[in-house]
Chain A
Amino acid sequence: MRHRRFIISLLVYSALLGMALGYLLPVWMMVAGSLKPDAQVLLQAGSLRGFLPSEISLQNYHDVLARVPFGRYLFNSAFITLSIVLCGLLVNSLAGYALARLQWPGRDKVLLAVIALMIIPLEAIAVPLFYEVTLLGWRNTYLVQIVPFIANAFSIYLFYTFFLGLPKELEEAARIDGAGMWRIFFAIVVPNAKPVFATVAILTFLTQWGSFLWPLMVTHSEAVRPLPLGIAAFYTLPPLQWGDIFAFGVMMVLPVLLIFLVFQRWFVRGVATTGVKG
């Protein structure tokens, strides 16, 4: 019995290790490539030598910073994503609370409408939205990349279901004490709803941070474009230097990777809750 268990765990480990190796290959290639002189990157991409930089230099990183406004892209990405996440948390949680706890005429119909809107992905409305923001004169601004994505049906729905599950007693007690709705919400409900705020924050972050299609359609200048467009533009910017491209990639992914590793438990939990949507 012990013997068998040992063989099983050996099999599990070797299967996982094998796949992990294949999985890490592109990441390793990127990191190693970013540390090598440009000429070596493509030359060695196929050989085993390609995976161990013979001479390590930060020249590529230096070149990226000199060739493109990397800091600008990073700031744009961070500013746009954070604005959407923070405004979204506020606006969607308030709506979720109004749907779960407050009574107002038309509430049930609005709830059904919100659930129905959940299935409309950005792609289904990208073209008319593009036309709409053109009419509004919003193209090539921060505004156009932030405002349309603050209100989110799925976030409202997540808040709504979470608030339904909170015990009502605390809110009722506060109400008897004469607290207003705003006070009840911010002083009692929000502190008891941290998990759902974390989940919504992370899911919003994951969808917005890599956003590519929409900014590609509505922006054209570096001043407001985010990182994903930065790397796409940099990748076609002559001279094509893979070492620089990889250095750009490493710098682009490092901050998020750190956030991910620190808050990993929350990321995993957040994604797992999308599974309950069905």
Chain B
Amino acid sequence: MLPPSLQKHDLFAAWTFASPALLGLLGFVLLPFVLAVILSFSNLRLGSPLPTEFMGFTQYQRILTDTAFLHALKNNTVFALLVVPLQTGLAMLLALLINQPLRGMVVFRTLFFMPVVFPLSLVAVVWVLLFAPGPQGSLNSVLELITLGAWQPRDFLHDTRWALPAITLTSIWQGVGFQMVILLAALQAIPLELYEAARVDGANKRQQLWFVTLPQLRNALIFVVLVTTILAFRLFDQVQIMTQGGPQHATTTVMYEAVNAAFASQQVAKGAAMTVVFFTIVLSLTLLQRYVIKHEKVIE
């Protein structure tokens, strides 16, 4: 099988080159992944005197009838439905504006990208103060100013209706720059000839946006939407800091429940079952993206 030029020490070199990383992936990605599936069918509890047993789908039955976990699934979905269109739309708008051939655009790009280097935990802490209750809270008073006093100050983070939107706003503020930069790169990769051809055919600016820019951005947009959706299902840091899942499970998430099960109540098996559910969601989203992009290539 091996080409004659390949000597023995080359084979040795190949294995020494590849093995550190492969061992790492094996031990800290693949093994835990397999463990997640195995543990989810057990009753493992850290520090429990009971022997670990095979439990079949008991953990899955348990979590799928668990009020908090069902809330978590719903919250992640609502969060994704809020964050994905809003953040992608805003990132798109920013990318289109910054892509204009005007002076000083780099300054704006820097500015909107900046929060990406802020740790989410810090961002969450700062936004807790912005959402502070009462008329003294920053957001409350800004809204009062805008509505000329019609706004009733509220306690955003302790209000079942407002807590999740508040976390959404915080997340968009931190994350939009990332998407913006990806879309900006995609915009700048569109060949200028396409616009020239469109102009020759008499397309105005709006038609150029609709028939040249957006179709050319299709794959980048699909990618951004997918990444944002997956990120939405990974939501944890903001919840842990801003609301601890409350009030009344209004902001709890799959990851928050999984970590709490494994960590706070030592129920590793239950937490593992939750992460398997989480991974199934991520996998289906990824496969969906692959399918959509492949599909397009067939049409072409």
**Chain A's interface: helix, strand, loop or mixed, by majority?**
helix
B39's contact among A15, A131, A249, A277, by CB below 8 Å, is which? Answer: A131
A229 within 8 A of B: yes
B105-113, B158-166, B208-216: which lies at the A interface? B105-113
Contacts of B142 in A (CB 8 A): 46
Which residue, of A97, A105, A114, A121, has the highest number of chain B Cβ atoms within 10 A? A121
Count contacts on B: residues with CB < 8 A to the other chain: 104
A85 within 8 A of B: no
Pairwise interchain contact B110-A232, C-beta atoms closer than 8 A: no
A256 within 8 A of B: yes
Chain B, range 242-279, C-beta contacts under 8 Å to A: 255, 258-259, 261-263, 268, 271-272, 274-276, 278-279
Pairwise interchain contact B18-A110, C-beta atoms closer than 8 A: yes
Pairwise interchain contact A117-B18, C-beta atoms closer than 8 A: no
**Chain B's interface: helix, strand, loop or mixed, by majority?**
helix
Count contacts on A: residues with CB < 8 A to the other chain: 96
Separation of A70 and B76 alpha carbons in the complex (Å): 34
Chain A, range 113-146, C-beta contacts under 8 Å to B: 114, 117, 119-121, 123-132, 134
B273 shortest CB reach to chain A, Å = 9
Pairwise interchain contact B259-A217, C-beta atoms closer than 8 A: yes
A274's contact among B182, B258, B278, by CB below 8 Å, is which? Answer: B182
B58 within 8 A of A: no
Which residue, of B35, B261, B286, has the highest number of chain A Cβ atoms within 10 A? B35
Contacts of B30 in A (CB 8 A): 117
A221 within 8 A of B: no
B90 shortest CB reach to chain A, Å = 8
Pairwise interchain contact A275-B129, C-beta atoms closer than 8 A: no
Separation of A206 and B261 alpha carbons in the complex (Å): 28
Contact with A along B20-34 (1 / 0, CB 8 A): 111111011111110
Pairwise interchain contact B14-A102, C-beta atoms closer than 8 A: yes
Separation of A98 and B20 alpha carbons in the complex (Å): 11
Pairwise interchain contact B173-A23, C-beta atoms closer than 8 A: yes
Nearest chain-A residue to B281 (Cβ)? Answer: A124
B64-72, B78-86, B193-201, B217-225: which lies at the A interface? B217-225
Contact with A along B87-119 (1 / 0, CB 8 A): 000000010011010100000111111111111
B268's contact among A23, A127, A209, A268, by CB below 8 Å, is which? Answer: A127
Pairwise interchain contact B271-A231, C-beta atoms closer than 8 A: no
Nearest chain-B residue to A252 (Cβ)? Answer: B122
Contacts of B186 in A (CB 8 A): 275
Question: Footprint of B on A, CB under 8 Å?
Answer: 8-9, 12-13, 15-16, 19-20, 23-27, 29-30, 33, 41-43, 45-47, 50, 91-92, 94-95, 97-99, 102-105, 107, 110, 114, 117, 119-121, 123-132, 134, 147-153, 156, 180-182, 185, 206, 209-210, 212-213, 216-217, 227-229, 231-232, 235, 242, 245-246, 249, 252-253, 256-257, 260-261, 264, 267-268, 271-272, 274-275, 277-278
The 10 A-B residue pairs with the shortest CB-CB distance in the complex, in nearest-first order:
A151-B24, A46-B141, A210-B119, A272-B185, A95-B21, A181-B13, A128-B35, A98-B17, A98-B18, A148-B28
Extra contacts, 10 of them, besides A13-B102, A130-B263 (Cβ < 8 A), are: A16-B97, A91-B21, A103-B2, A114-B25, A119-B282, A124-B278, A128-B32, A213-B259, A260-B117, A278-B223
